[in-house]
Amino acid sequence: MSDPFIPQNFALSAPFSDGDPSETQEWRESLESVLLASGPQRVRELMDVLAAIARAPEIGWRPATGTPYVNTIVAAQQPAFPGDLATEERLASLMRWNALAMVVRANKAYGELGGHIASYASAADLFEVGFNHFFRGGEQGDLVFYQPHSAPGVYARAFLEGRLSEADLAHYRQEISARKQGATGLSSYPHPWLMPDFWQFPTGSMGIGPISSIYQARFMRYLQHRGLLDTSARRVWGVFGDGEMDEPESMSALTLAAREKLDNLTWVVNCNLQRLDGPVRGNGRIIDELEALFAGAGWRVIKLVWGSDWDGLFARDTDGALARVFSTTVDGQFQTFAAKDGRYNREHFFGQDPALAALAQGLTDEQIDRLKRGGHDLVKVYAAYHAAMQTTGRPTVVLAQTKKGYGMGEAGQGRMTTHQQKKLERDDLIAFRDRFDLPITDEQAASLAFYRPAEDSPEMQYLHARRAALGGYIPARRNEAPPVAVPPLARYGEFALRAEGKEMSTTMAFVRMLSALLKDAALGPRVVPIVADEARTFGMANLFKQIGIYSFNGQAYEPEDIGSVLSYREATDGQILEEGISEAGAISSWTSAATSYSVHGQAMLPFYIYYSMFGFQRVGDLIWAAADQRSRGFLLGATAGRTTLGGEGLQHQDGTSLIHAATVPNCRAYDPCFAGEFAVILDHGMRQMMERQEDVFYYVTLMNENYAQPSLPAGVEGDVIKGLYRYATCEPEKPRSNSKAQAKVRLLGSGTILREVIAAAELLAREWGVASEVWSATSFSELARDARESERFNRLHPSGEARLSHVQRCLAGTAPVIAATDYVRAWPQLIAAYIDAPFTALGTDGFGRSDTRAALRSFFEVDRHHVVLAALTALRAQGLVDAALCVDAIARYGLSVDDSAAWLV
């Protein structure tokens, strides 16, 4: 193959079996002659025909999933680099320096602060090409998901851009002390909660950035197709590590991105071949593995493996020696080559093959040392991104090979330990200065002085001009969108407020309210109902036809149930996001909608309804990220409660989600029993988020148990929101002889267990002569939040009038308090410390199991009989009833006194 038109990839790099080499040679020559005579398109056509024949089951041929270890965009196809290369290289060097100086400085001052140098060092060029040529700014600019531990580089750029000051940089990872100095503390990773004007997307927990970016790109299409917002010019970029691709979340939505043809999405995977502990695939090649994965999922894969200085080597490599050696070199070895100098590489890389050694003959050791991998070559990076931008009909991934700790020399490049390197000695700093030709003195280097060129320098002018051309500086986050009016509660919730004993479950009540809200002219279009293949479970099938299921390409089939009023209807402008069995996907969609006010300046109101067990427990970290991102919307934990779900058993019955929810600072969690309570919570939440634009979100449990719904007592709305209101009082006709007249308890219940509590109050009055108050505890976590705040205020204001929390006001006095819920005891115990009276919590600790609701409630000791016994026991401790009453109650209700350890689980 001597003709230069034959691509170097043509060399056979893998050892193929060959039963008849001379016949093979004839075929090869035929193909080469077609290529020379008619060009690549004709070769592709012929190959398609041959492949179709060879794939017949009788032959069983399968194409290899990989391509040779070379760049996808060959030199001849590269576009001209449109920038000023020398200036961009100088700027990249400055970013590298300031990022490094920031991390090393912080750790010199306080060794515990941590931070990373090596990741950004390897990713700097990938970022810089994006910032100088592709990442568009402005209100409808691109959405960039930044690799979290490359944040120092993003700060370094904002410093040069004049958006962060030297004092800010000096407070990297010191948000608290920065405030006292009037500086902006720079958060460790992208955290919108901590830097609300800067970061848009939290990516600090590996895997969350990748999946979120896919659903964000998809949500932009949803907004577009529903005619709500023109997002066609926006792109989503994600810059991630090759190690991060190991996370299940990173991989789980690849096929969705391809299926929905998300050509508004580009990922750049920085393949520095290392993760934290060592090589990502020491004995294999991560680029090959990812190529097969992404291509198999339907993405366009652009491999960016080698820099421009390899082009000449490839051109001279007429017998494919490079491809041959690459095909047998594993990543662990490539890492060693990265860590070693030019001489070592001459001997051990080029020395593997006489043809390769000959190739390297014209190069000095220094030149071999500086041979760039693709991700460090601005021209090649530009070519890859440019090709990604041209791609239509599918998402693109750029697999960019780099060196971890690039330029850190002996101190870090390619070292096993480089990920956590955060201290550098004087000599290393000066060597880094020399390596990148930085205009600073030895002393400035040693003292880690930040460097910003003069505003009128060519570099700074170039930097600003590039951003101006691209629409402004990024990252930048906005905090507000025009408010959306919420209809009056009576319009959609009257049936629940005045239920007058009608039977329904709170899930049914929710669906009815949702249906009505969807019809509201202002709010309706902003509602985003989300399900993960459970709409029928929650009685939402009627919405399929009413508002349609979003499908980017409509409905290409006649649904089986076409004649039915509940027919399954997919439509391009469908409103429901039906995410299939992917809670991670559904919550990512929810977050996209819940942050639309900020990301798109268009507030949306997502309602994601799911089996409550598969929320916080299953995708809690994604919810934590949504909280960081200041999401606004409703999460509805349906089929909630460990005993309410009856037959579903251990993995379905949720007794803990409210505890998880209580730990999320901006989550407002409620466990209402009655539809009227739910209506009030819904109304309050919508106003808080859509009208007042507060950065909170709601988690509300919904039950599938049908029961008579009372009308909401007048005037309790405020207390429903605070978490506790008095539902009823229950007086005995006459006290029993062995209970004192003043025997009185306060009974608290939440969710469906409130109904057991109400029944217990009646039993106490009728059968035991005990008076009670029944309180509906809609939220123990809201009560605790308020009580904590009062407690703190009183501690810090010892001389003023003490503040009373809502729970203290409601439950003053010494009458025992019994709280029973369908959740673990820790849920009601959130308020225990704030109550002076004796407090007993009944709950469903342990594993769930299958049985009837009644059997389960008895087993977990949260039914009416156990509430009665708990009340009598508390009164006995106060000397207000005799012990004999408790003995009687156990006998009368047939309560099990089995105290074996097995009971606990």
| Site membership for ligand TPP, residue 285 (CB under 6 A) | no
For 669, the token pair is: 């969690």
Q: How many helices (H) and strands (E) does the chain have?
A: 36, 20
207 vs 672, beta carbon nearer ligand TPP: 207
Binding window for ligand TPP (CB under 6 A); candidates: 273-281, 365-373, 377-385, 731-739: 273-281
Nearer to ligand TPP, 287 or 530 (CB): 287
> Considering only residues 47, 75, 229, 276, which one is a binding residue for ligand TPP as defined by CB under 6 A?
276
- Which C-beta is closer to ligand TPP: that of 211 or that of 783? 211
| Stretch binding ligand TPP (CB under 6 A), from 17-25, 205-213, 493-501, 797-805 | 205-213
Give the angle subtended at the CA of 691 by the CAs of 713 and 634, to the nearest 5°.
70
Query: 207 or 848: whose CB is closer to ligand TPP?
Result: 207
- The letter for the amino acid at 742 is Q
Indicate the SS3 state at residue 808.
Answer: helix
Tell me the closest approach of the beta carbon of residue 617 to ligand TPP, in angstroms: 17
Sequence-separated (6 or more) residues with CB below 8 Å from residue 902: none
Cβ-based nearer residue to ligand TPP, 283 or 737: 283
- Residue 39 CB contacts under 8 Å (≥ 6 apart), including other chains: none
Q: How far is CA 165 from CA 170, 192, 572, in A?
A: 9, 19, 47
**Cα–Cα dist 245/238, whole Å:** 12
Give the residue, chosen from 71, 78, 119, 739, that forms a contact with ligand TPP under the rule CB under 6 A: 119
DSSP, res 238:
E
User: Cβ contacts of residue 697 below 8 Å, gap of 6+?
Assistant: 594, 626, 627, 631, 632, 633, 634, 635, 666, 667, 668, 689
105, 235, 275, 632: residue in contact with ligand TPP (rule CB under 6 A) = 275
Q: Applying CB under 6 A, which of residues 8, 93, 184, 272 lies at the interface with ligand TPP?
A: 272
Work out how close the CB of 588 gets to ligand TPP at its nearest, in angstroms, rounded to a whole number: 15
Nearer to ligand TPP among residue 125 and residue 311 (C-beta) = 125
Q: Which of 125, 142, 242, 782 binds ligand TPP (CB under 6 A)?
A: 242
Residue 667 DSSP SS3: strand
Smallest gap, in angstroms, from Cβ of residue 632 to ligand TPP? 25
How many residues can be counted in the chain?
905
Least Cα distance to 545 among 527, 524, 568, 529 occurs for: 568
Of 626 and 886, nearer to ligand TPP (C-beta) is 626
- Phi and psi at residue 612, in whole multiples of 5°? -60, -25
Residue 749 touches ligand TPP, criterion: CB under 6 A: no
Q: How far is the CB of 719 from ligand TPP (least distance, A)?
A: 40
Binding segment for ligand TPP among 236-244, 293-301, 586-594, 729-737 (CB under 6 A)? 236-244
Cis peptide before 475 (omega within 30 of 0): yes
Q: Which of 94, 195, 206, 673 binds ligand TPP (CB under 6 A)?
A: 206
Element (H, E) at 577: strand 577-578
In whole angstroms, the minimum distance from the beta carbon of 381 to ligand TPP comes to 15
Q: How far apart are CA 304 and CA 70, in angstroms?
A: 7
Look-up of token digits 């990812």: 290
Nearest CB to ligand TPP, comparing residues 126 and 481: 126
Which one, 150 or 790, has the nearer CB to ligand TPP? 150
700 φ, ψ (degrees, to nearest 5): -130, 130
How far apart are CB 501 and ligand TPP at their closest, in Å? Answer: 50
Instruction: Please list, in sequence order, all residues whose beta carbon lies within 8 angstroms of the beta carbon of residue 656, skipping any fewer than 6 positions away.
Output: 616, 617, 823, 824
Both tokens of residue 224? 């577009």
Q: Compute the CA torsion angle 494, 497, 501, 504 (nearest 10 deg).
A: 70
Closest residue to ligand TPP, based on beta-carbon distance:
241
Question: Judged by CB under 6 A, how many residues of this single chain contact ligand TPP?
Answer: 19
Q: Which of 68, 185, 243, 615 binds ligand TPP (CB under 6 A)?
A: 243
Tokens of residue 711, six digits: 């009308």
Binding residues for ligand TPP restricted to 165-184, rule: CB under 6 A: none
Exposure letters 42-57 (e unless 16+ CB within 10 A, then b):
eeeeeeeeeeeeeeee
For 674, the 3-state DSSP assignment is coil
β pairing state of 771-776 and 725-730 = antiparallel
Cis peptide upstream of residue 196 (ω within 30 degrees of 0): no
Q: Does 404 engage in binding with ligand TPP (CB under 6 A)?
A: yes
62: tokens are: 């399968």
Task: Find the helix packing angle between 883-893 and 864-877, rounded to 10°.
Answer: 170
Segment near ligand TPP (CB under 6 A), from 54-62, 267-275, 694-702, 835-843? Answer: 267-275
Residue from the set 125, 128, 142, 244 that interacts with ligand TPP by CB under 6 A: 244
- Which span sits near ligand TPP by CB under 6 A: 194-202, 269-277, 392-400, 599-607? 269-277
Question: Is 270 an interacting residue with respect to ligand TPP (CB under 6 A)?
Answer: yes
Site for ligand TPP in 405-444 (CB under 6 A): 419
Binding letters toward ligand TPP, positions 487-526, x by CB under 6 A: ----------------------------------------
In this complex, which beta carbon is closest to ligand TPP, that of residue 279 or of residue 769?
279
CB of 279 to ligand TPP, least distance (A): 10
Amino acid residing at 434:
D
274-282, 589-597, 680-688, 870-878 -> range binding ligand TPP (CB under 6 A): 274-282
Cα–Cα distance for residue pair 308/298, rounded to 1 Å = 28
| Residue 212 binding ligand TPP, by CB under 6 A | no
Q: How far is the CB of 242 from ligand TPP (least distance, A)?
A: 5
Q: How far is the CB of 207 from ligand TPP (least distance, A)?
A: 6
By the 8 A CB rule, do 837 and 857 touch? no
Least Å from the CB of residue 116 to ligand TPP: 7
Phi/psi of residue 658, each to 5°? -70, -30
Supply the minimum distance, in Å, between the C-beta of residue 403 and ligand TPP: 10
* Least distance to ligand TPP, CB of residue 269, Å: 9
Q: 187 vs 873, which CB is nearer to ligand TPP?
A: 187
Tokens of 496: 């629940």
Smallest distance, Å, CB 290 to ligand TPP? Answer: 12
Distance CA 159, CA 148 (A): 18
Q: Report the site for ligand TPP in 131-170 (rule: CB under 6 A).
A: 149
> In this structure, what token pair is assigned to residue 435?
């390596």
Stretch that binds ligand TPP, among 19-27, 71-79, 268-276, 601-609 (CB under 6 A): 268-276
Region binding ligand TPP by CB under 6 A among candidate stretches 10-18, 239-247, 321-329, 721-729 = 239-247
Pairing type for strands 817-820 and 839-842 reads: parallel
Per CB under 6 A, 202 contacts ligand TPP: no
Q: 486 phi and psi, to 5 degrees?
A: -100, 130
Query: What is the closest distance, in whole angstroms, from the C-beta atom of residue 195 to ligand TPP in the complex?
Result: 18
Considering only the stretches 200-208, 495-503, 533-541, 773-781, report the one whose residues sit in contact with ligand TPP under the rule CB under 6 A: 200-208
Cα–Cα distance list, 895 to 404, 642, 767, 866 (Å): 66, 20, 16, 8
- Is 274 a residue that touches ligand TPP (CB under 6 A)? yes
- Looking at the Cβ atoms of 152 and 207, the one nearer to ligand TPP is 207
CB of 360 within 8 A of CB of 346?
yes
Q: Which is nearer to ligand TPP, 204 or 298 (CB)?
A: 204
Count CB-CB contacts under 10 A for residue 301.
21
Binding site for ligand TPP (CB under 6 A): 119, 122, 149, 204-207, 241-244, 270, 272, 274-276, 280, 404, 419
